[in-house]
Amino acid sequence: MSANMLRKLVVLAGLGFCCSGQAAELVGAGKITFVENGWNGEGLVIHHTRNGPAGCPAPLNDFAIDKNNTAYKELVAMALSAYTSNSDVELMVDAGVCSFGARTKIISIRLMK
């Protein structure tokens, strides 16, 4: 993935966040240690090295990207890129909003160098 394409993906994800009015919370920089598809096609699960906010029954470092998210393809591409390159990421999550598997909902991913 080119740097220019990556910048565009980050901007698109950020635009979705800026105007959403959600109760967003930043999960600090850490690694994605595994990704898993939803068993019934619900989306993508991410396990992060940092804990997120309380409010969902799943472990605090389990997060989900719902397939119905308008930025689903961009978020999945960024998550897979971060996982395969072992890059640090910050997650912007919708605190207390649970997605499939009772995991905290991801609304944006920020790749770090």
State the first-to-last Cα distance of the chain, in angstroms, to the nearest integer. 15
Are the CB atoms for 94 and 45 separated by under 8 Å?
Answer: no
Domain limits, the chain: 3-111
Are the CB atoms for 53 and 96 separated by under 8 Å?
Answer: yes
Residues with Cβ within 8 Å of residue 89, at least 6 apart in sequence:
29, 30, 31, 32, 48, 78, 79, 82, 109, 110, 111, 112
Q: What percent of the chain has pLDDT over 70?
A: 81
Asked whether the predicted pLDDT for residue 7 surpasses 80, the reply is no
CATH topology (fold) of 3-111: OB fold (Dihydrolipoamide Acetyltransferase, E2P) (2.40.50)
Per-residue pLDDT band for 3 (boundaries 50, 70, 90) equals low
